[in-house]
A and B are shown apart, each in its own frame.
Chain A
Amino acid sequence: MRLAERPTGTAAPGTRTGPLLRVQDLSVSFATGSGRLRAVDGVSFDVGAGETVAVLGESGSGKSVTAQTVMGLLPRPAGRIDGGSVSFDGVDLLDRPDSYTRALCGTDIAMIFQDPLSSLNPVFRVGTQIGETLRRRRGVSRRKAREHAIEMMHRVGIPAPEKRVDDYPHQFSGGMRQRVMIAMALSMNPRLVIADEPTTALDVTVQAQIMSLLADLQREEGMALVLITHDLGVVADVADRAILMYAGRVVETGPIREVYDHGAHPYSVGLMGSLPTGDQDRLTPITGAPPDLRQLPTGCSFHPRCAFATDRCRTEEPVLRPAPDRPQAHLTACHHAEEVLADGIR
């Protein structure tokens, strides 16, 4: 078994053995005016039932494209799946038509987007939108759907849901709109929720409310939660595991405290040094800029920005391997992980 394919998810206690979501060696590219662009390049990870996983990365890291592919939302024909597989509960989604995936989505898999204003339909009442899936998929009556919408709004902490159920999206604040989105996503009791930058557009106090709401709902419902974000801070409280992406690849993964406290990839260490914590005089940023995805560097994509880079990094692409002398679930794609870890201790 290749190390990159080692399942890292924790199976739900007492149920099936396999992970709920398994992404294996997934590659996705886009056609652009100036050539094909490899957005996702051999990405593998598992998400176990009931697990909360953070997918972290900066713009262009491939984190959102990975989510879109899982949800069958890849824009076509520009986007193309070049290889790999995505299976949900043991069923390969890429083998099936997109319509199969979409039928799963909304029922077993749900998604929460960054911008609730553009994801909600402005001309329909929020109650209608929350109840829509139930009406379409289960054929319940209009009245039952409305009752269900009120109950969902209550559960996500929208005050006076009996009155607000007939309001339109523009009548809600940004934070309340995101709660409406969450109510929609959870209305069918999904087993997996993928949230793409769910708090990025929100103010910091509202951000805190929404993250604690998601964490509470996750605990109550026992669903698996995938949080996609560029913000290392907002997920630190709630995620069990972190998957860090750079230029379309997974560069480090493991229990979130492992990755944050014992970074075994120069990129994750560099990201941590870029964060203002309040006690540094000067930040220690990563030099340079992320690469052009149409002209990726040879070998390790991070080598032009890396202080540890050697000739080997310029020629040989590193694969995920266990971080030396760290817990088994902690994987890194760096040839020089030993030195990176030793440097962090110093």
Chain B
Amino acid sequence: MASAEPLLSVRDLHTTFPIRSALLRRRVGGIQAVAGVSFDLQAGQTLGLVGESGSGKSTVARTIIGLEQAASGQVLFQGQDFAAAGRAQTRRLRRDVQMIFQDPYSSLNPRRTVAELVSEGWQVQPGFGPRGTWRASVQELLERVGLNPDHLDRYPHQFSGGQRQRIGIARALAMSPKLIICDEAVSALDVSIQAQVINLLQDLQRDLGLTYLFIAHDLSVVRHISDRIAVMYLGRIVEEGTRDEVFDRPTHPYTQALLSAIPVSHPWRMPSRERIVLAGDVPSPADPPSGCRFRTRCPKARDRCAVEVPALEVRLGEHASACHFAAVEPAVAPTA
């Protein structure tokens, strides 16, 4: 896709968690939670990052925002390297990139009022006007996210789960960010509330020109909200492309199996649907298979897969796939 400089560019990112010995806490190995992840995210777009537990999708997010240290690789925001930025630049970057977390119960300090929670960032970041105007600004934000602006002196426990997630969104918006990372931001909500929050996120994107990195395990939700999709398996991206390319014409065997497993609310309306059931479990990231990490569960695996790591590149159609045999028939039947 030829276009302007991406807002966020992740280059060959590696994040490793040390394994330490029980006795002297000596480092005896490492878990490569993220093993060479690269992607671009254009301003105003939503990239959906999907994968199952242990795929490393949340670690990617945490590394981008600096909650985990990258072992190697680069995170460029508007062309600027996060790791190489000076103090003033880092401060600016921390403002521009905000995160919304999964659990609206544990991510808000129970002893702070809504006004304190939403305005917290203004105390450390310059440029948000004099303190006297903050209450009015918080009220505007509350209204923006669909909360009663008069509730600014209430505490988190006085709100429902969906309302608390709205407080989290208001808190992120308070910093006037360019990029919001949503880490399972709607996963803990009941379906009727989830739909409300999804609509809110879409409205905010349209009105404020926000960019989202949307991380979730619920593929139906990701499909609904994303422009592009990246599928992760065991620390690597296995397939990346536009939403319709990835969902309608998946070429990686893992993506094909993953999509076929999505629970469908009206299965009788799609009689041709075939479910690909993967054998076995995800291998341990402490000891990943050689070559292609998916080969141990892959119906297409051959000798080459054990020795050669497949690069993420366009092999069939218009989007990238990290499978040596992405273009080889018989491909596993796509869903729907």
Report B146-183 residues with CB < 8 Å from chain A CB.
160-163
Contacts of B278 in A (CB 8 A): 205, 209
Binary B-proximity of A259-283 (CB < 8 A = 1, otherwise 0) = 0110000000011111111101011
B136 close to A (CB within 8 Å): no
| Contact (Cβ within 8 A) A276 B266 | no
| Contact (Cβ within 8 A) B220 A275 | yes
B124 close to A (CB within 8 Å): no
Residue in B closest to A272 when the chains form the complex, CB atoms: B265
Binary B-proximity of A174-203 (CB < 8 A = 1, otherwise 0) = 111000000000000000000000000001
Stretch in B10-18, B76-84, B255-263 touching the partner: B255-263
> What's the least CB distance linking B206 to chain A, in Å?
11
A58 close to B (CB within 8 Å): yes
A11 close to B (CB within 8 Å): no
| Contact (Cβ within 8 A) B224 A283 | yes
Count residues on chain B whose CB falls below 8 Å from chain A CBs.
40
> What's the least CB distance linking A198 to chain B, in Å?
13
Count residues on chain A whose CB falls below 8 Å from chain B CBs.
43
> What's the least CB distance linking B253 to chain A, in Å?
12
A91 close to B (CB within 8 Å): no
| Contact (Cβ within 8 A) B192 A270 | yes
Report A283-334 residues with CB < 8 Å from chain B CB.
283-287, 289-290
| Contact (Cβ within 8 A) B266 A203 | no
A137 close to B (CB within 8 Å): no
| Contact (Cβ within 8 A) A236 B198 | no
Contacts of A203 in B (CB 8 A): 52-53, 217
Partner of A175, one of B192, B221, B281: B281
| Contact (Cβ within 8 A) B198 A233 | no
Partner of B268, one of A58, A234, A257: A257
A59 close to B (CB within 8 Å): yes
Contacts of A275 in B (CB 8 A): 191, 195, 220, 265
Chain B interface residues toward A at CB < 8 A? 52-53, 160-163, 190-196, 198-199, 202, 217, 219-221, 223-225, 247, 257-258, 260-268, 275, 277-278, 281-282
Q: A237-B263, A285-B194, A290-B160 given; name 9 further pairs at CB < 8 Å.
A: A174-B53, A204-B263, A207-B263, A208-B260, A232-B191, A236-B266, A261-B266, A274-B195, A285-B199
Give 5 nearest A-B pairs by CB, closest first.
A233-B263, A285-B195, A276-B224, A274-B195, A203-B52
